[in-house]
Structure 1
């Protein structure tokens, strides 16, 4: 399993009239956590995209337990509990306040796609190699992702990922 923590200070502009972090901002917090986790591993989104591979969100889920508020220092924990499988990878997130209270949980299912066609492609080997040391053979079974080979390689891309 791979984990990575980042800290984000809640800015006033990120809050709503009730003083809570507006729910739409959590997707951005998740993105910052993914980007920084990859950066810590020596993986560059910019280089990946320059090589013709994108990683759009195929699914996002957020569960709010307690509100985050203006000026809170949040710890966003990214958890990669299992290796990517085929063309998809599931990132999980936990957001804590300074007192260590769990405020928010969520996940994003990311899909590797060829940027010119929007069609799913295998995770780049360079990324597989960077993540491999964090997983054992027991981590391969995935309760969330389809069985390897269940999605034919020539399956059409979901409409949301087509150009």
Structure 2
């Protein structure tokens, strides 16, 4: 059975535009936070751990479909699964919901890369194995 990783957070004033809804670039920050927490909490290999070895997971691409606004004070859940693990990249699917309503969906391709040389590098076996527990079919 596929596992999913969920990060819950409340929409804060600093996330919102003057209309009191989340300003869309803030969602990208929230997606990044979810990926960071996924590696630290679910995989057990934080970005800090990677940086010690001059490694990181820069974004290769991101695709987001906004479906409904989130407002100041809303509690949102961003749920992440893995749809593909390549040699040195992975595609992560995400869905943001609040009170049962989908706020946005999408995918992000991350690349396991050396931060000094800016070259991709194969996923370490330990990380690959832990990520595999979150594999699911891609969203359609």
TM (norm. structure 1) is 0.76
Higher strand share: 2
The question of whether the paired residues in 2 share the 8 Å contact of 1:2 and 1:80 is answered with no
Q: How many Å separate the matches in 2 of 1:28 and 1:109?
A: 15
**Aligned-CA RMSD value:** 1.9
Structure-2 separation of matches of 1:77 and 1:131: 14
Match of 2:50 among 38, 48, 51: 48
Do the aligned partners of 1:93 and 1:106 also contact (CA within 8 Å) in 2? Answer: yes
State the Cα distance separating 1:47 from its structure 2 match.
0.7
SS at match of 1:5: strand
1:9 counterpart residue number? 10
Deviation at 1:129, TM superposition (A): 2.7
Structure of larger gyration radius: 1
Separation in 1, partners of 2:117, 2:106 = 29
Report the Cα offset of residue 3 of structure 1.
1.1
Alpha carbons 2:57, 2:113 under 8 Å: kept: yes
2-structure distance, mates of 1:31, 1:133: 20
Q: 2:71 aligns to what?
A: 69
Tell me the distance in 1 between the aligned counterparts of 2:101 and 2:37: 22
**How far apart are the structure 2 equivalents of 1:64 and 1:12?**
20
Contiguous gaps of at least 5 residues in structure 1: 143-163
Distance in 2 separating the partners of 1:37 and 1:26: 16
Q: Which runs of 5+ in 2 are unaligned?
A: none
